Structure 1
Amino acid sequence: METPKTPILENQICFPLYVIAKEITGLYRPFLDELDITYPQYLVMMVLWENDGLTVSHIGDKLFLDSGTLTPLLKRLEGKGFITRKRKKEDERVVEAFLTDVGRQLQQKACEIPGKIQRKIDVQPEDLIQLKESIQRILNKIEK
């Protein structure tokens, strides 16, 4: 009987993806510290800057987060005055998140972050676009 080969770290697709995600997220930290938000909170804010007043479940769908992970994030953002959460009158089980004026002002400062990250990693924009498209194709296959 043939013995299965031990997986080798450098041959795994998951490892470089894990490392690059960790490293790039780390690059965001000093810029997000200036805004007093974490990277997951930044993701939530980006979703709301695109479409204010989304339900918690819709935000979770966009970010691939369950409500157990998302609810504490939203509570912290609300505690900082960036968002408010309101239950729908028609169905009180449904909670919607809305930007506050302070949350909208944060958007102006956040607009500088993508350019700062791009300058910091010093990679051609077309290389980043190609990488993002490749990752998105793989994600689309996983989601099916």
Structure 2
Amino acid sequence: MGTGDTPDMIPSIRKGDSDKPGYMVVGFEVIPCSVMHNVDSVKNLQKYGKYPNAVKCDPNTASMPIKEGQPIVFTYEVTFEESDIKWPSRWDAYLKMEGSKVHWFSILNSLMVITFLAGIVLVIFLRTVRRDLTRYEELDKEAQAQMNEEVTAL
């Protein structure tokens, strides 16, 4: 079982193209790195061409200062590694966490936010209903007063 921290791949079979092996990515890892590139050495490179010099990457340092008006050179490198992880079990490392890694604080925080927002909606609803009921009572009192005037006038 993999940890999901490395690039993991498994062979797959594509429909109608079973003679050519295919792969499905079941995990990946991104390592950002700042490298001081020589602009002149990469000017004549073709698309997908190899970088002329070996790149030494230290993710803890930023070694490429950026100046206004200066072109920025960037590259990326992709490495694929085969793994025994099957496609249906790619999430097992995250779904079957061992130990008590339940985030109780996050759960409690979410419940408190939901309760607070529901309380605000309830208060607004009750104020609106109360205001409507008072208007209807005033209309009812006016109608009663008119009926009493008509009855006493007869």
TM-score by length of structure 1 reads 0.23
Q: Write 1 or 2 for the structure with the bigger share of helix.
A: 1
Larger Rg: 2
TM-score by length of structure 2 reads 0.22
